């Protein structure tokens, strides 16, 4: 079973995806980490995130880099959003994602184009969203808890800028697949959002099982 979970930054899709993977005993990949790894590598190489050649050169990174906690920083997240607009970068990372998705037994992947590009025939597609303001509050609280000095207006502006880049890039823009279930987490607790996501998966898969011959 392949479960594709897409959505904008700070929508809750990462936490929801991890819990889906745990609940259904499936391997999990946060595909955003791949782009963060490119952003981190680019930063180490002194490249320009808006230059396609520099960004492509940063795609050659070791898998162990995905365990680096520095990838979770806001600076690296911003770089990831910028490098992701380059078609060459997306193509370079596509194979890693597709190999993971189509492994025996299936997997859970979260990102921005899983249900539309990476695994368009996924068994379940969920598009997780929330208002920009709600997402900014979550990111603000998360960073404050890590002891970072942050400004809410700056975080909101960054989220809006990322949304703009993700939705309007020429290759694999952020959008729900036509057959995706929408999950708006604006007014949901994380536990409620997880339970709704599990219910969506069960509804899709039980319907499929009911149609299968005995």
pLDDT tens for 97-107 read 999 999 999 99
Structural domain total, the chain:
1
Does the residue 89 lie in any domain?
Answer: yes
Say which range, 21-25, 105-109, 140-144, has the weakest mean pLDDT. 140-144
Provide, for the chain, the percentages of residues in helix, strand and coil under a 3-state DSSP scheme, each rounded to the nearest 5.
Answer: 55, 10, 30
Q: What is the CATH number of the domain that holds 97?
A: 3.40.50.300
Q: What percent of the chain has pLDDT over 90?
A: 84
pLDDT confidence of 213, banded at 50, 70, 90? very low
* Residue pLDDT, tens place only, 173-198: 999 999 999 999 999 999 999 999 99
Residue 39 belongs to domain spanning? 2-196
Does the residue 69 lie in any domain?
Answer: yes
Does the residue 206 lie in any domain?
Answer: no
Does the residue 77 lie in any domain?
Answer: yes
Does the residue 16 lie in any domain?
Answer: yes
Does the residue 86 lie in any domain?
Answer: yes
Does the residue 187 lie in any domain?
Answer: yes
- Residue 110's pLDDT is 96
- Residue 207's pLDDT is 58
* Residue pLDDT, tens place only, 64-102: 999 999 998 889 999 999 999 999 999 999 999 999 999
Q: What is the pTM of this model?
A: 0.87
Does the residue 207 lie in any domain?
Answer: no
- Beta-strand (E) ranges in the chain? 2-6, 28-30, 107-111, 124-129, 181-184
Q: Do 34 and 93 contact (CB within 8 A), yes or no? A: yes
């Amino acid at each position: 079973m392949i479960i594709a979970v897409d959505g904008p930054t700070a929508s809750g899709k990462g936490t929801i995806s991890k819990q889906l993977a745990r609940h259904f005993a499936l391997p999990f990949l946060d595909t955003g980490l791949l782009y963060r790894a490119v952003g981190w590598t680019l930063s180490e190489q002194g490249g320009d995130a808006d230059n396609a050649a520099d960004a492509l050169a940063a795609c050659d990174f070791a898998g162990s880099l995905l365990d680096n906690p520095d990838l979770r920083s806001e600076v690296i997240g911003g770089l990831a959003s910028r490098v992701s607009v380059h078609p060459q970068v997306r193509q370079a990372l596509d194979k890693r994602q597709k190999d993971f998705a189509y492994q025996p037994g299936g997997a859970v992947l979260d990102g921005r184009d899983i249900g539309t590009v990476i695994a368009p025939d996924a068994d379940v597609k969920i598009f997780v969203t929330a208002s920009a303001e709600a997402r900014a509050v979550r990111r603000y609280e998360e960073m404050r808890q890590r002891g970072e000095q942050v400004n809410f207006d700056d975080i909101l502006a960054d989220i809006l800028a990322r949304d703009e880049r993700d939705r309007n890039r020429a290759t694999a823009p952020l959008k729900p697949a036509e057959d995706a279930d929408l999950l708006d987490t604006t007014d949901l607790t994380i536990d409620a959002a997880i339970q709704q996501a599990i219910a969506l998966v069960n509804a899709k898969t039980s319907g499929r099982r009911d149609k299968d011959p005995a």
